[in-house]
Structure 1
Amino acid sequence: MKRAKPVYLPLGYKLLISYLLLVLTPVIGIGSYAYVSSVRSTEEHTRSNLEVAVRQIASNVDYRLKDVVRSTDELYADQTLSRYLTGYHSGWEKYSIMSQYILPRLENAANLPDPEVKLSVYVSNPNVGEFYYNESAAGDVRKYSLFHMDRIENEDWYRRLKLHYGSYEWRQVGNDRANASISYLRPLINYDTLQLNGLIKMTANMKYIFSDAGSGQLGEDSILFIVGNDNRLLFISSRNKVKPDLLPSAASGYIQQPDSYMQIKQPVTNMPASVVAWIPYSSLQKNSQQVRNVTIGICLITLILLFLISLVMSQYFARSFQKLIASLKSFKEGDFHKRMPVQGNDEFAEIGSAFNDMASTIQRLIDEVYVVNLEKKETELQVLHSQMNPHFLYNTFSSISRMAKLGEIDKLHEVIRSLARFYRLTLHRGEMIIPVEQELQIAESYLDIQRIKNVDRIHVAYDIAPEVLENESVKFILQPFVENALEHAWYDDEISLIIRAYPEGADMVFEVEDNGLGMKEELIGQILEPTGQGIGYGIRNVDQRIQLQYGRQYGVAIHSSLGEGTLIRLRFPCRRYQSVQEEL
């Protein structure tokens, strides 16, 4: 049975369909989530702001209550005042204590920001005289009084008090409820017996203490009031009385939260009470409709824009792929000169550049592979030629002849032995890769001959790391720099050389340093120039051999200062030497 040919669907259509699916799914999901989260966020943000406002109101209430508490604390902790109020005094002493200490202390305690605060101190000691003011004539003066306990001992509110050392209570007593006030009650202690000796009563107007509860910070539809820990209504601002039906149970002294209102409750630190706010849920949700409409509108606009963008992008990618396919077909057919047009600055441009580079590289490698092999062979032949330097050999033989005529048999013997060792090492087995130790021996043999010829005017120091001796080295790369130093750097009666070999990270380093004439920067540049003519042939030869063997990142570096000397550094990778027999 013949199989049906698959339907050909262009890449542009596939991209467009995939883009639409990728766009529609997240937009619908994100739009729905955005709507729900926006409504929730709006409500949470509104609630958070309201909570901050209620917390600030409670903080302001605490700030005012602290003044009352602090003033009574000063009286409560004053042991001198306690002794004066519990002791027996008569005559001038009684008058002096009353006028110079007791009354000033009471006046100072009553000196609060609210002039309507009333301080009343009740004492059990009948020896202490009473002091009080005329309520109708008091005006704006600080209101403080000193009474005997028999004035309140029979009051119901006093008999219900359970004060003891260290205790206190906030309570509406006497006429406080009628006057919209509240009193802070503390016992007066006889510090000699630690028994109760009276009562400190600080009465403050609740309109002053809870003034922030009537400021309307929470909006026109909110209700703000103060309740005790037993949920009994203590204070409600006058601005809330426009809706008395919202507090149906307030007449009995207790409140109950309506179902249609959200409640925020913040305790007051210095009083057993809390600031309570009721906010209608409708005010929290009134922006939900607007948020929904805006969200739907944004989603629709986004879908249209993304559809247009998807259409443009699918066409762009389709054209880019077509260009790439055309270039690959030409490459497949062997046309390595074909290049892909590169436009823009994106991944397709990078693909085009990479493709063009690849084609150029392949073409260049095809053209250069034979050239590289020829250059390597030619370099090896040049090295062998430099090893058999006739000039060096003629000079050495002349020195040998002169020594023979002069009868310097010992020197003659040393020169011949060093010369034989030099050529034995350089010509041994014809290997191009030798151990570092053998390369150092070649340079050492050459220097031995030169020291004998120059009557020890050449001073050589070796700084060789033992661990590098068994590493491999390209053959005959050290001796040419030693020879250059003796031929071109020597300008005084003597010359000093330092030869170093050491590892540096994953690399191996040879150094030849002299104290000779030095070179100018221009000359160094000419020597290392690949196309340099006439000078630096031996140095470039060594540099090219190292790079042919190990790569372009290795080779020769020259550091020189005119009149101070020259430092030659040869760098190549650390590799353990293996002879041809070992490799086989």
Structure 2
Amino acid sequence: MQHSNRRRFLPILYKLLISNLALVIIPIIVIGCYAYISSARSVEEHTRNNLEVAVSQIQSNVEYRVGEIIRSSDEIYQDQGLSTLLSGYYLDWEKYQVTTQYVMPRLESATNLPKSKIKLSLYLHAPTISEFYYNETEQSLIAGERQYEILHTSRIVDKAWYQNLRIGYDEMKWQQIENDAEYGYISLLRHAINYETFQSIGLIRASVKLKDIFEDVDFNQLGEGTKLFVLDQDEQLLYSSSPGGSLPYTAEELNESRDYLKISKPIHNIPVQIVALVPNASFKDNSQKVRNVTIIICAISILVMTLVSFIMARMFSSRLSKLVVSLEAFKEGELQRRIQYTGNDEFAIIAESFNEMASTTEQLIDEVYTSKLEKKEAELQILHSKINPHFLYNTFSSISRMAKLGEIDKLHEMIRALAKFYRLTLNKGEMLIQVEKELHIVRTYLDIQNIKYAERIHYQLEAEPETLGLETVKFILQPFVENVLEHAWYDDEIKIHIKVKKQAEHVHIEVHDNGLGMKQEIIDAIFTEGAGGIGYGIRNVDQRIKLHYGKDYGVSIRSEVGTGTVVTIVFPIKSPPSRQE
């Protein structure tokens, strides 16, 4: 084949392969990226939820410990009998008896109530009860022992923390006072109340080491590298999961940091919050596993689809090449060329149709030279036969374009329609055909064109039932439909309406379109001999009908510019007698 007149020749194998790979690789990459992002987010969300649950569990455990200490102070705060004893006035010997037999046992009971070791201090405004206290050493403060004491508020009345203490009689407050911060304590402060006068008779102080509140917390459940901190209401560090630990950032920097995921939970009844810092690297480890699996799956999918695409493209290319080579040779006048093809698919039907068409064409050309009397009919038969290769060549151009675009489904659909078209048009070499088959031919032709023009052709075929079995000259509708598509189409869509009806002893076939229309001068030129290429196909149909049925029959056209055209084909119902060819 010669391709010198083409700008650049690119085999259809490469076009099919490139288009198929583009249609395969791009979706795989897009789906892979989407799957990776979705999976990574899902893993991160799952990990975050697990951490939220773990921190919430820690929060619940700590709140339970805090609740124990509050309940311990309630033993003193809510004991009305003890309140009455603490509000009375006693002689010296009575003070000792009240202190040792009533007050101290209640304080001891309240001290032993919580699991945490607490120091319970009762400060009294009136010195009605004797003081009782231990001499604290640095070692005892560090160890954090269970103990209780009775003191007078005169010891603390001048201290700043006491003077600034603002709590109602029914309120409590957690605060680090005196040496609490130095030795890792925090104190619960609340009034002791006289329930008869509802006046304060003193101050209850329950001190507990922070480590005792958090000693049962399993920090390892948050994951490796996770740090846990306890911050006060001013976001100052009170406690760290690691000895001597400190916040890696200030509170403001921590909110903007990308190194850690921050999870914070407030502790009810105490103005502190638990802050867990989870390294973002722990999320990336899981995300990297998802990414690696996604890449492997996508790579395998691309390799498999590339191999499948190559095999399919090579198969289509080799079969189309045989057809194109034979068509090119036929176009150049090598009428003896035949397609050598073995198979049982649509390509086999096309090859068989082409071979029969070529044989018919070659035979008709030979007959032209054997009889001048049949020259006109032979010429018309040749022209009729050449409609097929002309149409086939154009159709294969469309097939090539679809293959280039990778439209495999449309490509398969067009090849099936093309095979059906040629199966209908062969008609065992006969020039006459039933009206029903002629309608099938034009319907198949329109279906092929609709694939080419993306369903923008709207057509309707109507026929009276009694006309379907009648005979007509073969291939009389397709040229008119082709003429509409090539010359009348001016809008985005085109409508074609074909009607077959019986009038008296005649059959009328009308082809309506809403196309551009044409002037009367053009209509006159179509039916004028020697008018060149104008209306050649229409004139061909008219001449073939007249040749078979006589000069009283044939084609008429009426048209209006901008409105459309109506073509009417008339022939007799009675079939003509058989003729010697």
TM-score (norm 1): 0.46
Larger Rg: 1
TM-score (norm 2): 0.46
